[in-house]
Structure 1
Amino acid sequence: MSSTLQDLVNRAVFYSTEVQTHFGALISDAEWEVDFSSDPHLTFTSADGAVLRTRPHLLGSESDREKTWLWGWENVNDFPDAVVGLSHEVRKFGAAEEVTELTTPEISLDEELALRLTLASKEATDNWAHYPAAAGAGTTVWLLVEAAEIALPTPQVKVSVRALMQGLTQTTVTDHRAAIESYVAKRGIPTADLPEGGMRMLFADGSADLSFDDQRRISNCDLNAPLEGEAAEQFAAAAGSTGTPTEAAASSRTPGSASAPAAEEAAAPAATAPSAPAPAPVEEPSRTETQPVEEPAAEATPTAETQADDAAEPAAEAADASTQDKQPEVEQSAGDEPVEPAAAKTPIEEEPAKEAKPKKKGLFSKLFGR
């Protein structure tokens, strides 16, 4: 059965949001360097000297000058297969699913396109972290990133609810219910049916009761912690007759409300979303000839700040929240701290941060000519 680009975005958005939050916490305030040789690597170095070496895959690039996205598999820079190989897998997936955006070499940009193509690529390849890196001359290179350290911990109710609320601000999600069903399947989160088509997400540390409107959008989310009562029984049953809730959560795939009238409270889901490092002003290279590019003052992405519940803020995939016509609000049982995600920003169009942050170095060790 064929898919649309929107179908892929729906299936990827919430899981990607949680991974980006976790990834952002790992590389907050780090300087970065990428090498597109036959042994490609993207290295982040923190202020205290800690180094995270990751494996990057070039998906594609967006050009501010030409206002287009160019897929990595078109490979006008003649990068080795180790760099662009995964982008070919995306193209093959797109051909099988009849998603023309994944098989068209160059596409006119809109404000969400780079992010949406990256989300679709995550669903196609099962690689869930990404990094938009400034290559200079108005070009941003979008990378999928692999590293053992990016694996998520056991699901937690507040983290997952935050991922849902933030995900809705990043891009258009047309079917909230389908998107959540995809997310809980990827995260191994047990669920239980609620009256009137609702869904309960079950965690070792609590539960979240979701309601949906007639257009399958989240209309309310009631977060309850700790896990108790009927939800605790349902979680234990999902774990098996001898399993404990904690054991059930530990066995999940890896390691996360809102009523429409109170959209003002939920419209600012929490996090400092990283954006693409700002490119240094250099002469724009041609698409077919490689040029040396160095980014002495590019800002690292993603960044994250520690929250009261130790959940990191989201990373680089936030898009303009104005694309959503309404947001749900989180209801939380008395005594629990509220989930308060803060406004995210797009990795494509960088906005000034509310608080001054130090500039981060970015460097391409391999020439890039897009």
Structure 2
Amino acid sequence: MSTGNLLYGLYPYGKYIHAGLVGIAGGYTDDQIGYLPDRFDAIAYNKDGTKSAIFSSGVEGNALEKITFEIVDTGCGKAEFTFRRLPTNTELSVDQRIDIHLFNDPRPWWSGYILNCPAQGSTADSYKYTAHGYYNKLDAVVIFADYLSDEISEIVSEIARQAELKSGLNYNRNLLINTNYTASRIQFDGVTAKDALKQLSDFAIDYVYGVDEYRRLFFRPRNREVNEQARFWVGEHLNSFEPQEDAEKIYNVIPIKGAAVDGNGEQWIATVEDAASQLKYGIREKILTLPSAYSAADAERWGRNQLTSVAYPVQSAKVKVVHLEYPLADGRFNVRKMWTDGEAVITDRHGVAHQYPISKLKYTVSASDGIKCDMELGKPPGTVDVYLSNLSRYAKDLELLQAAATKQLK
């Protein structure tokens, strides 16, 4: 249960916290910050934590022309930095950490690392650096482990420790919230930390995970309450609102293949169904694989969590040009600093309120056009990239299932 910005009833690793701060870090509150309109800073850091360069709209002759970055369910997403003048290697280079601050806020709005950059000697008119939040580094953390009767957040804690050692993430056990569910057996046999966290969030049921703007791995219940920073009226707080509904990929019968092999050499360990969806849309079947599961109870729990997102039509919306600043009575202004935590309420021109989970915030920042924010709400229809990613994951799951069966049959 949450009230304001407090989340009650948390118990990381079995230890109760009766009230914990949500979404606040860095030791500042909005009242302590002197927000400045359209001010932005990109700060690059050396490995030892010292600053190598500051690219700021408040600096005369600033070479940074434009920034785009995203905040998604898994925390800080992709970003792009466009320069009019090529920074030197001592200022900005591959794999270097860079933080983004908006409106003179001393707290970062995004933190990530440079993926690729133009080489010295280039004669281009502008220079683009691409980057991503530290969640992306979990693709290079591979998990080999066999867990017997472990509570889910304990497993996540071990993965977070590995990510701290291998990828430079900041470990904070208070951000890994207890699930009250102990899995019979979960085996990860060469699975990336990203895929492991995805499976563990499904066992936990309606949990979210990722890496935040302080480079900390989080694993917590999805917040279904309204984010008070995300209440908007069309025409007053935002320029456009485009809702849609997608019923293309509805499934309500899901047979699940797991790692355990029965006496007949089969790996079917559970089937989950949604009767109400079947009555409304007919029977729609989809086979899923869960190579880390050995018990029917674990597979069924996982499968029921899958049903929550596929048994009914997907509601989504696109929102363009969110007005982040709003005036205060004393003549100053405050800023909406949103995360994908909680849900947005959009009231349309007819006075009808629509409520959606916040799935993506897309920022565009430049000296000429200021700071702009667009939003994606709900679960957008699948793109080609998502389809190809799912195909790759399915192929990997089949490979892991075959490996598990081979070991048992031997």
The TM-score normalised by the length of structure 2 is 0.26
The TM-score normalised by the length of structure 1 is 0.28
Larger fraction in helix: 1
Larger fraction in strand: 2
Structure having the higher Rg: 2
Q: Which has the higher contact order (CA 8 A, sep 6+)?
A: 1
